[in-house]
Copies of this chain bind each other. A is one copy, B any other.
Amino acid sequence: MRRQAAEDAFVDRLVRGFTRSPGQINRPHESDAELVRLPGSELVLAVTVDQIVEEVRAGLYDDPYLLGWMTVAASASDLAAVGAAPLGVVIGHVLRPDTSDAALDALQRGIADAANAAGLPVLGGDTAFDSAASTSATAFGVVAGGAAMTRRGAAIGDRLFATGPLGSGSVFAWAKRRGETAPRFLPAPRLDAGALARGFASAAADTSDGALAACDLLLPPEGVDVVWDAPPEAYLHPDAARLAAGLGIPPWMLLAGPHGEFELLLAVPEAAAGGLVDIARSRGIRFLDLGRFAAGTGAVRFPGAGVSIDPAAVRDAQRAAPADPRAFLRALGEAARPLSARDREVTPHATR
Contact = CB atoms under 8 A, between A and B. Distances in A.
A45 B46 CA distance: 12
Contacts of A129: 53-54
A88 B20 CA distance: 10
A22 B169 CA distance: 33
A38 B123 contact: no
A295 interface: no
Q: How many identical chains are in the complex?
A: 2
Interface string A41-72: 10101011111011001000000000000000
Interface stretch (A114-122, A256-264, A340-348): A114-122
A122 B21 CA distance: 7
A24 B88 contact: yes
A323 to B, nearest CB: 13
Interface stretch (A136-144, A156-164, A213-221, A268-276): A136-144
Interface residues of A, number: 61
Contacts of A108: 14, 17-18
A87 B22 CA distance: 10
A49 B45 CA distance: 17
Contacts of A40: 43, 144
A246 interface: no
Among A90, A112, A127, A138, max chain B CB count under 10 A is at A138
A115 B19 contact: yes
A18 B49 contact: no
B10 A111 contact: no
Interface of A: 10-11, 14-15, 17-21, 23-24, 28, 34, 36, 38-41, 43, 45, 47-51, 53-54, 57, 85, 87-88, 90-94, 104, 108-109, 111-112, 115-116, 121-132, 134, 136, 138, 140, 142, 144
